[in-house]
Amino acid sequence: MTEKVSNNLSRTFQTKLVLPQDTNHMGTIFGGVVLAHIDEIAGITAMRHCKSTVVTASMDTVNFVSSAVVGDILFLEASVISTGRTSMEVYVKVETENLKTGQRTLTTNAITTMVAIDENKKSIPVLGIIPETEEEKRLFAKAAERKKRRLSIQE
């Protein structure tokens, strides 16, 4: 499909509380818990964009920048940053807010690839995207490089 839609229609926000069961023996959040949150919001964001079910094709860029501890609030923001014929790259940013200080810190960012599917689990075309923020424009400009890297890993 050549039609494109505003990225504002493909942006999602979530808030999560870090609980004791989310943490490891050092008292910081398990990376796997963060990855699950990222996969969930990326899927929701992609589904909103394509108005269909999606599956995760890859999670090829994940950067754990800092950690979160029990009682921190996680703020997740996701947006579709590029599209292929049936796939969508979704950028997810995770920040933590300390309740006592109000300070927000980047904890993790990631780029996932989601594929739109129909009720028969066959891939279906998706609309293109118009990046809106400077960050989205920068990420959109490098989409071809990321796709080439993903494909080279599969060889």
DSSP state of 8: G
What distance in Å separates the CA atoms of residue 154 and residue 99, rounded to the nearest whole number? Answer: 43
Rg of the chain, C-alpha, whole Å: 16
What distance in Å separates the CA atoms of residue 41 and residue 93, rounded to the nearest whole number? Answer: 10
- Taking CA atoms, 129 is separated from 32, 81, 106, 111, 151, in Å, by 29, 7, 25, 15, 21
pTM: 0.89
User: 29, 69 in Cβ contact below 8 A?
Assistant: yes
- Taking CA atoms, 115 is separated from 50, 86, 101, in Å, by 9, 6, 40
E strand spans, the chain: 4-6, 11-17, 53-64, 73-83, 87-97, 104-117, 128-130
pLDDT in tens, 24-72: 999 999 999 999 999 999 999 999 999 999 999 999 889 999 999 998 9
Give me the pLDDT at residue 67, please.
Answer: 93
Instruction: State the residue range of the domain holding 82.
Output: 4-154
Helix (H) or strand (E) holding 37: helix 31-50
Give the type of residue at 45. T
CATH number where 133 lies: 3.10.129.10
Supply 13's token pair. Answer: 């926000």
Considering only residues 147 and 153, tell me which one the structure prediction assigns the higher pLDDT.
147
Give me the pLDDT at residue 7, please.
Answer: 61
How many structural domains comprise the chain?
A: 1
What pLDDT band is residue 1 in, cutting at 50, 70 and 90?
Answer: very low
pLDDT in tens, 12-33: 999 999 999 999 999 999 999 9
Give the type of residue at 4. K
Pairing of strands 11-17, 4-6: unpaired
pLDDT in tens, 91-145: 999 999 877 888 899 999 999 999 999 999 999 999 998 888 898 889 888 888 8
